[in-house]
Each structure stands twice: as structure tokens, then as C-alpha cells.
Amino acid sequence: MDQRISLVTLAVDDLDAVRRFFEDGLGWIASRQSQDGVVFFQTGGSVLALYPRRSLETDIGRAIPSGPGGAVSLAWNGRSEAEVDAAYAQALAAGAEPVTAPEKVFWGGYCAYVAIPGGHLLEISFNPFWPLGADGALTLPD
């Protein structure tokens, strides 16, 4: 089982609202592979999917507790503290709720957390020890 994650799927109660957050709020472009009832965003070599909670419940044959749970956090890393500030402001303007404002954190980074519409956690972070590639990829130092 080669070391990769192909898709990250967020189960959402209001697909349109979350789609609008990413498209209209953040300016992301949904893939033409998106269909009624599922939205895909290319994110580097993997894919972020938005999928109705009820559809996922049907697929897995069990109920999913309502609410985002919070046991998974996605992170968007920027290239500087200023990029984090700008992205945090953009996320709030797009309808995310503040969780923690951008601040220097104990390990030397500069991070904020927001909850996107529906409640999933999104960390917005600058890690000076982990520079991003030109293509935005995060490759861990040796």
C-alpha cells in the first residue's frame, strides 16, 4: 500500500454553501469532474472532495454523527506570516468562523484556525522550517 493519500473527502450538510466558500470565497476552481452531489478540487497531486453527509452514510452503510467532529484538521500553508494574515482575512470574509487568530506558536510557526461553513477545521499556517516548493508542494526536509 504505497504511501499516498489520493482524496480527502469532507462530509457536508450543505454542499452548496461549502462549495461557494471555496469557489466564491477563496477563488478555487472546481474540477469539471464535479457532478450533482459531489464537488472535486484538484489540490496538487491529490483531490479535495465535498460530499453530502447522507451520501457518505449510504456508501458506508452506517450513520455519521452530525457536526464536523473536529477530529480532522486540514491545513493550508502559506509562504510568509503576511500570507497567513491575508488568507485568514479572506477566509473570514468568505464566511469562515474564527477559532484562533494568527499568532506565533511555540514551535516557531505562525498559525490560525478557522471553521469553514459547516464547521470543518482549517488551519492557516506559515512554517519557516518547511518551505513550499514553487508548485506549492510541501516536501518535508530530511
User: Pick from 15, 39, 41, 117: which binds a copy of itself (CB under 8 A)?
Assistant: 41
Is 116 a binding residue for a copy of itself by CB under 8 A? The answer is no
Is 135 a binding residue for a copy of itself by CB under 8 A? The answer is yes
Where b means 16+ CB within 10 Å and e means fewer, 84-108 reads: bbebbeebeebebeeeeebeeeeee
Q: What angle do CA 79, 90, 65 make, to 5 degrees?
A: 100
Helix (H, G, I), strand (E, B) or coil at 40: strand
Residues at the site binding a copy of itself, with contacts judged by CB under 8 A: 1-11, 26-29, 31-33, 40-48, 53, 56, 59-62, 64-65, 67-77, 86-87, 90-91, 99-100, 105, 111, 113, 120-121, 123, 125, 130, 132-133, 135-142
